[in-house]
């Protein structure tokens, strides 16, 4: 089932990428990034079955980081929304050079 799992993982990852590229809502883009993380987790689990349990440990760490990232990221989005009254990234260009 390794090949199939990798196939699904790749497809999910690509969907996440397309989501990031086509949407402008910060929360949606954030969720797309979560989807990409999940896609990678799937391949990690599949590899763990084939090559050893270390893959599962990785998934564990990825989840931890994702949780932390979600907390901080959502806090940033809230702060941004307070400041700009929008989460549409087209209207946010604070980093413009």
Site for another protein in 3-62 (CB under 8 A): 4-8, 10-25, 27-32, 34-35, 38, 41-42, 45-46, 48-54, 56-57, 59-61
Q: How far is the CB of 36 from another protein (least distance, A)?
A: 10
Q: How far is the CB of 55 from another protein (least distance, A)?
A: 8
Measured in whole angstroms, the distance separating CA 12 from the mean position of its chain's CA atoms is: 11
Tell me how far apart the alpha carbons of residues 84 and 60 are, in angstroms, rounded to a whole number: 35
Residue closest to 6 by CA, chosen among 61, 47, 51: 47
Residue closest to 61 by CA, chosen among 41, 42, 43, 47: 41
| 79 contacts another protein (rule: CB under 8 A) | yes
């Amino acid at each position: 089932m390794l090949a199939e799992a990798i196939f699904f993982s790749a497809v999910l990852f690509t969907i996440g990428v397309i989501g990031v590229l086509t949407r402008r809502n910060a929360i949606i883009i954030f969720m797309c990034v979560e989807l990409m993380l999940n896609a990678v987790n799937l391949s990690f689990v599949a590899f763990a079955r084939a090559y050893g349990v270390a893959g599962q440990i990785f998934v564990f760490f990825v989840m931890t980081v994702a949780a932390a990232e979600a907390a901080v990221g959502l806090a940033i989005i809230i702060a941004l929304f307070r400041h700009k009254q929008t989460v549409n990234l087209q209207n946010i260009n604070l980093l413009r050079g």
